[in-house]
């Protein structure tokens, strides 16, 4: 019996199967994890954050507004042209209800003219518009810097969220290895008849829960990484390995509360924004008050027209005319209509002054709160470190007594859980301390 055709078919099937397995292995290969520091994250947010890009466009628009305000000092020049058909002129010599006589007129009419106006004085409105545009530009820059600090803080939260979960992942993987080793020891004791089957089942259940917890932590890493990627303008599937130096991991020693309050009054962009808005309100009030002031300017105009019907006697000829002089305008009606506008502007300015006081009060409260919370987070680090020492010693004692048949498995599992929880708490305390410190810097205006 010839088996060569079957061998060829079998060989082809094996090659297809191996190639598909190879392709599947390539597709399931996890993406490489890219190391990154918090400073690199901030650099990426400065370049790619949508919020910062929008604020930068507002700054550019405010800079263009300054040029628009300055252009008000230039003379106004206009050119005009008119081309018209003039109808005949009926004259009612015997009254409106009788047939009129038709007075012939030249049906064609055209006019080309140019005029110019140069403002000399308008109550200082142009200068105040320029000053207001500069203040709006400074306000836009302050808002951009405030947004930059807020984005830096959010980026730090996402960065340390990934870092914390990766630390959890490392601790839990080591714990799973220890529990697997322990399960083998418990199985050996069970085979020797030293412990009950329930101990084996409890150890397996504990190991199963740890593996499920590891899956949840890995999912949290992916979610936090995606949030970070959206903020810094990277693809969703990019995975990061946060790099935290020993210096960054160590708690920062605080200065006195008074130093932070003084820095906040100088560097806080919230205060700067409030002051610029108050300055704009002052300029607006002055601008409204100037509505009653006269305006003076130079004007000139020149025109060509056909026919000459502006002056008597009329003539069917092309003519030109021009004039130049000084124009004065006194807004008399503003003396009784402007007082309500002034009242509104005064109320708005007073509201901004009260708002400025509120902003400064809230800033002092925020700085003091974040200062106290950061001190509290430092104490949590010390407490968590002590808890690890105590939990490690407790676990060592219970482990020895259990394998010497002097303690229950539930006591051992509780000691293991307490030790792992203490390690988690220390990682959380260090991360929270760093986030609290960044929050304090954001409030002060130095992040």
Kindly report the length of the chain.
Answer: 447
Q: What is the pLDDT along the chain (447 residues), one digit of tens a residue?
A: 444 444 454 444 444 444 444 444 444 445 678 888 899 999 999 998 889 999 999 999 999 999 999 998 899 999 999 999 888 888 888 888 888 888 777 788 888 999 998 999 888 888 999 999 999 999 999 999 999 999 999 999 999 999 999 999 999 999 899 888 888 888 888 888 877 888 888 888 988 998 999 999 999 999 999 999 988 888 888 888 888 877 666 777 778 888 889 888 888 899 999 999 999 999 999 999 898 899 999 989 999 888 887 777 777 888 888 889 999 988 888 888 888 989 999 999 999 999 999 999 999 999 999 999 999 999 999 999 999 899 888 888 888 887 777 778 888 888 888 888 899 999 999 999 999 999 999 999 888
Q: What is the DSSP string of 96-151?
A: TTSPPEEEP---EEEEEEEEEEEEEESTTHHHHHHHHHHHHHHHHHHHHHHHHHHH
Tell me the three state secondary structure of residue 73: helix
Q: CB-based burial of residue 101 (10 Å sphere; 0-12 exposed, 13-18 middle, 19+ buried)?
A: exposed
- Bridge partners of 295? 329
Measured CA to CA, the distance from residue 355 to residue 349 in angstroms comes to: 10
Cis omega before residue 313 (within 30°)?
yes
As a whole number of angstroms, the distance between CA 287 and CA 72 comes to 15
**Rounded CA separation 17/5 (Å):** 18
CA atoms of 413 and 178, how far apart (whole Å): 12
Confirm whether 37-74+122-294+330-444 and 75-121+296-329 share one CATH topology. Answer: no
**At the topology level of CATH, where does 75-121+296-329 sit?**
Outer membrane efflux proteins (OEP) (2.20.200)
Give Cα separations from 262 to 257, 357, 363 (angstroms).
9, 16, 11
What is the spatial distance between Cα 60 and Cα 272, in angstroms, rounded to a whole number? Answer: 19
**Angle (nearest 5°) at CA 25 between 19 and 27:** 105
Residue ranges per domain, the chain? Answer: 37-74+122-294+330-444, 75-121+296-329
Query: Helix (H, G, I), strand (E, B), or coil: what is residue 76?
Result: strand
Give the C-alpha separation, 409 to 185, whole Å: 13
Q: Rounded to whole angstroms, how far apart are CA atoms 396 and 415?
A: 9
Which residues are paired to 315 by β-bridges?
308
Q: Whole-prediction pTM value? A: 0.80
Complete DSSP assignment for 152-185 = HHHHHHHHHHHHHHHHHHHHHHHHHHHHHHHHHH
d(C-alpha 275, C-alpha 359), whole Å: 10
- Give CA–CA dist 41/225, Å, rounded: 12
Question: What single-letter DSSP state applies at residue 445?
Answer: T
CATH classification (class only), 37-74+122-294+330-444: mainly alpha
Direct distance between the N- and C-terminal alpha carbons of the chain, in angstroms, rounded to an integer: 83
Cα torsion 221, 226, 231, 233: sign: positive
């Amino acid at each position: 019996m010839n088996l060569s055709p079957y061998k060829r078919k079998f060989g082809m099937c094996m090659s297809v199967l191996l190639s598909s397995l190879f392709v599947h292995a390539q597709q399931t290969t996890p993406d490489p994890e890219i190391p990154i520091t918090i400073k690199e994250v901030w650099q990426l947010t400065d370049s790619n954050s949508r919020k910062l890009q929008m604020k930068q466009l507002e700054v550019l628009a405010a800079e263009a507004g300054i040029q628009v305000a300055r252009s008000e000092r230039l003379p106004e020049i206009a050119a005009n042209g008119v081309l018209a058909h003039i109808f005949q002129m009926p004259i009612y010599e015997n009254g409106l209800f009788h047939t009129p006589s038709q007075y012939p007129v030249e049906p064609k009419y055209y006019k080309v003219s140019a005029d110019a106006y140069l403002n000399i004085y308008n109550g200082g409105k142009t200068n105040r518009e320029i000053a207001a545009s500069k203040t709006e530009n400074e306000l836009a820059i302050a808002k951009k810097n405030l947004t930059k600090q807020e984005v830096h803080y959010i980026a730090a939260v996402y960065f340390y969220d990934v870092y914390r979960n990766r630390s959890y992942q490392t601790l839990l993987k080591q714990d799973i290895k220890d529990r697997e080793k322990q399960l083998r020891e418990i199985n050996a004791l069970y085979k020797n008849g030293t412990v009950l089957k329930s101990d084996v089942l409890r150890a397996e259940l504990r190991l199963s829960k740890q593996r499920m917890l590891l899956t949840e932590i890995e999912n949290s890493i992916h979610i936090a990484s995606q949030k970070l990627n959206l903020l810094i303008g990277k693809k969703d599937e990019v995975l990061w390995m946060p790099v935290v130096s020993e210096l960054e991991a160590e708690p920062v020693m605080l200065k006195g509360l008074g130093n932070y309050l003084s820095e906040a009054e100088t560097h806080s962009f919230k205060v700067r924004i409030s002051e610029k808005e108050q300055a704009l309100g002052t300029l607006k009030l002055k601008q409204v008050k100037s509505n009653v002031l006269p305006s003076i300017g130079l004007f000139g105009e020149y025109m060509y027209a056909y026919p000459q019907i502006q002056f008597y006697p009329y003539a069917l000829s092309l003519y030109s005319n021009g004039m130049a002089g000084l124009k004065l305008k006194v807004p008399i009606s503003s003396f009784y209509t402007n007082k309500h506008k002034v009242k509104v502007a005064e109320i708005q300015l007073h509201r901004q002054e009260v708002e400025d006081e509120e902003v400064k009060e809230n800033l002092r409260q925020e700085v003091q709160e974040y200062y106290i919370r950061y001190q509290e987070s430092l104490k949590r680090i010390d407490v968590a470190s002590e808890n690890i020492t105590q939990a490690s010693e407790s676990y060592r004692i219970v482990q020895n007594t259990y394998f010497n048949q002097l303690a229950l498995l539930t006591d051992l599992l509780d000691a293991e859980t307490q030790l792992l929880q203490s390690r988690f708490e220390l990682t959380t305390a260090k991360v929270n301390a760093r986030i609290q410190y960044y929050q304090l810097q954001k409030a002060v205006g130095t992040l």
